[in-house]
Amino acid sequence: MKTEAALPKTLVDAIRYFTDPDVCLSFVANLRWPFGPICPECRGVEPSFLKTRRLWKCRACKKQFSVKVGTIFEDSAIGLDKWLPALWMVVNCKNGVSSYEIARSLGITQKSAWFMAHRIRLAMQTGTFKRLSGEVEVDETFIGGRARFMHKGKRIRKIKGTGTIGKAAVMGLLERHGPDGHSVVKVKMVPNVRRKALLPEVRESVASGAEVFTDALHSYKGLGADYIHQGH
């Protein structure tokens, strides 16, 4: 394993450094599990490592898992040899880096580069590569002042019913008591509370296999078999 002193200082160094799949695996595993791999299914420790497949197998529940499971890298066919140089670019380019520049530098499509940059920036905001897991509560609300307190020129029209006109839709996700005993909360503005807006956000932020608790809003119907959906 390479030492911290040998970590890449330039983009060219980063691309060369992360060419080796074993280096990529070790780099992400050490960031994710500084005290050793932990089974994401049963929290079992000291799993056996399947070297030929670069996977771990839990001694307790017998499930196999990769270093990508439960992270922003999961469900992506893009290898860590592309993800990690992209991460280096986003973190080190102080003036920002576009998806077009990432695509040109790594030899991938602009669409893939945009997808990667979006997830990397999200991880930087939350401070972790991990997705929410275990028991996760999801809810939405509208935030904004009441229309009768707005200046007459800013009122769209008289607000009736739930009073959502002119307000911002906000989605909140809460992981109940994570591995460290603390709850984790993520909050994000969404364009609306329709299914097409909410479901992708759940899939983006919540690891597969999690138990997702929602209200009776019809938009949450159709989360699929990847989650244990508890609608109320």
Structure confidence at residue 216 (pLDDT): 81
Residues 201-223: tens digit of each pLDDT: 888 788 777 888 888 888 888 78
Residues 6+ apart with CB under 8 A from 155: 147, 166
Structure confidence at residue 164 (pLDDT): 61
Q: Is the per-residue pLDDT at 144 higher than 80?
A: no
Q: Is the per-residue pLDDT at 146 higher than 70?
A: no
> Could you tell me which of 68, 78, 79, 91 has the C-alpha nearest to residue 11?
91
Q: Which of 9-18, 40-49, 139-148 has the highest mean pLDDT?
A: 9-18
Place 148 in a pLDDT band, splitting at 50, 70 and 90: low
3-state SS assignment for residue 219: helix
What is the number of other CB atoms lying within 10 angstroms of the CB of residue 24?
21
Q: How far is C-alpha 198 from the geometric centre of its chain's CA atoms?
A: 15
Residues 36-63: tens digit of each pLDDT: 898 888 888 889 999 999 999 999 899 9
- CB-based contact 211:136 (threshold 8 Å): yes
Structure confidence at residue 223 (pLDDT): 81
pTM comes to: 0.63
DSSP label of 130: B
Detail the DSSP E strand segments found in the chain: 48-50, 55-57, 64-65, 135-143, 168-175, 184-190, 211-214, 228-231
Place 161 in a pLDDT band, splitting at 50, 70 and 90: very low
Handedness of CA 38, 44, 45, 49 (dihedral sign): negative
Q: Where are the domains of the chain?
A: 4-32+68-126, 135-231
What is the number of other CB atoms lying within 10 angstroms of the CB of residue 153?
5
Strands 64-65 and 55-57, by their bridges, are antiparallel
> Could you tell me which of 138, 149, 99, 142 has the C-alpha nearest to residue 119?
99
